[in-house]
Chains A and B, each alone.
Chain A
């Protein structure tokens, strides 16, 4: 089953919230993981691990560094489901 952009954003927001303690409504498409959400590399890898599990996708390490914003991640995950 493919997830919509909205579903991926909502699921990602839950994962980020669990990891950082930020409210889910702070996890917006335009937010930068590092600059806005203060997520370090280890936390980012934790979020990726949970996201792979939740959405049934594979996000190779070399692609993770290109995921600057939440929107980048949503686009990547939605595309990777295809």
Chain B
């Protein structure tokens, strides 16, 4: 870890790597830990944001704008995913009266 990787004074690109690894693992942990489908959706958003943060840090590190365009497209996909996913959840709740993924196991096995 040398000074040549500094992005802003005192903070290197590795700091941002550690931060996004922590956020990504927290998202994975939340998906495994909680059974409420809405909270699991939020954890998916958290993982997407961890990846976005890493892309922006590397975009600054390498001086390339393209990574920021990728972040833009990830946000687009996240918005579409949330719209469809919450519609599916609404329909599930209307039919099954729960959002617990231990109950919604008809497609399991």
Judge: A and B partners, yes or no.
no
Query: Measuring CB to CB, which residues of chain A are less than 8 angstroms from any residue of chain B?
Result: none
Binding site for A on B (CB under 8 A): none
